Amino acid sequence: MRNQQGGFTLLEVMIAMAILAISLVAVFQMQLQSISMATEARFTTTASLLAQSKMADVESAASLTGRTENGDFGSDYPQYDWNLKITDTRILGLKRVEVTVFNKALERGGSYSLIFYKTCGR
């Protein structure tokens, strides 16, 4: 009779390590995607609120003359800038107002635009 010792062969250990490595890569990929989606959701939420705030400022203005302006949101939101564009439409007395909010830190998808139309009193 042969004397058998307990334990794993080198091949069994290598296969187990390969399975572990493949599963860890999948878990890390899902974690990276989750972080990316959370960052995008945070940007969309913040940018939409900032754009609505700027839009409220424009709506409360006495007159809407055709113009383009740029600015930032101050020290509260240092990474965010805004661009305002007020243009005439084909309909007399109707203005197109577009507010775009940019995040300087994001390389991809770092802008959010809000557009509305408003009638102007004569």
Report which of 72, 52, 69, 63 is spatially closest to residue 116, judged by C-alpha positions. 52
**Torsion of the alpha carbons at 73, 113, 52 and 89, rounded to the nearest 10:** 120
pLDDT of residue 69: 92
pLDDT in tens, 40-72: 899 999 999 999 999 999 888 777 788 899 999
What is 10-119's CATH topology? Pantoate--beta-alanine Ligase; Chain: A,domain 2 (3.30.1300)
Question: Could you tell me the mean pLDDT of each successive run of 10 residues in the chain, 122 residues long?
Answer: 74 95 95 92 93 91 83 92 93 91 82 90 59
- Calpha distance 20→65 (Å, rounded): 64
